[in-house]
Chains A and B, each alone.
Chain A
Amino acid sequence: MAFGYLVGGAAFYGGLGWLLDRWLGTSFLLPLGALFGIALAMYLVFKLYLHA
């Protein structure tokens, strides 16, 4: 479950970064988005499972 969140976060926000990269012609938004997604996923995992 937690693994799914990490993959999902990296894939979704990384994908968003990739799309923005293509649109704006940059190349730093994909890794930035992936890291942001992982951070968000970790926040969610802590939130959901720490007090459970």
Chain B
Amino acid sequence: MTVTGLVPVASETFEPPGPRDFDLPPVFGDSILFAKPALLLVLSAIVVLGFFLVTTRRMAMVPSKTQFAGEQAYGFVRNSIARDIIGTKDFLKFVPWLVATFFFILLNNLFGIIPFIQFPSFSRVSFAYGLAALVWLLYNGLGVYKHGFFGYLKHVTVPNGVTGPILVLIIPLEFFSTVIVRPATLALRLFANMFAGHLLLILFTLGGEYLLLESSNVGYKAVGVVAFLLAVAISFLELLVQFLQAYVFTLLTAMYIQGALAEEH
């Protein structure tokens, strides 16, 4: 078979999906604020708030099914993230932040595979930057509050157990990795996972659709069916990644809080 034989015979050529598929036009008006990703953020905030309002509306000693669901969700973040990482002494006042972060990110990620929504909001990098900026303000603010400005600066830049002239080289490195690299990797990890997952899904579904419907070759049609099946399989993989990224983001937030509050580095 020649190389040209690999190209399916079709009326129009296949356009592979790319970053431009993430630039969604405004649903109404001409402001970017009314584009799908921004509206999804608002929707997720309403849904998460609604979920916890409904599940905690009538609290009873013997919980109803909805109260049980809410308590399980809350308890997961409270115990296995906040308490385990920050420690029993200080963790309680950070639980609301961490619970809100976790379920906000989780729902926005799940939007990537919920039928008819099918867009993970954090595949737009600016949202991830915004979230990481909040975390940056939180842990640095906490550190300054706890140790004082210069005390925190020392806390951040001078690692425990490192002494001598090598500190001259270490201090800028520590400062750079804690203050600049940390929020960037936090944001990019979430963004890149959501971006890549969504790209993979649209590639397999659009490619499958093209092979199945636009090509006249039976073999290509069969490959198109396989592509659709793979898209379903990847959706399950994405479910795992979406949960994991929400978990990792919250876990790292808790670790940064713990690091800022710690007595020693």
Contacts and interface: CB of A to CB of B under 8 A. Distances in A.
Interface of A: 1, 3-5, 7-9, 11-13, 37, 40-41, 43-44, 47-48, 51
Given A8-B176, A37-B173, 5 more contacts: A8-B174, A11-B176, A41-B173, A47-B161, A48-B162
B246 to A, nearest CB: 19
A8 B68 CA distance: 44
Interface residues of B, number: 18
B118 interface: no
Contacts of B166: 43
A52 to B, nearest CB: 9
Interface string B84-126: 0000000000000000000000000000000000000000000
B170 interface: yes
B42 interface: no
Interface of B: 159-162, 166, 169-170, 172-174, 176-178, 180-182, 185, 255
Of the listed residues B160, B162, B166, B169, the one surrounded by the most CB atoms of chain A closer than 10 A to its CB is B169
B40 to A, nearest CB: 30
Contact of B173 (A1, A3, A12, A51): A12
Given A3-B185, A4-B178, A4-B185, A9 B173 contact: yes
Contacts of B176: 8-9, 11-12
A4 B182 CA distance: 6
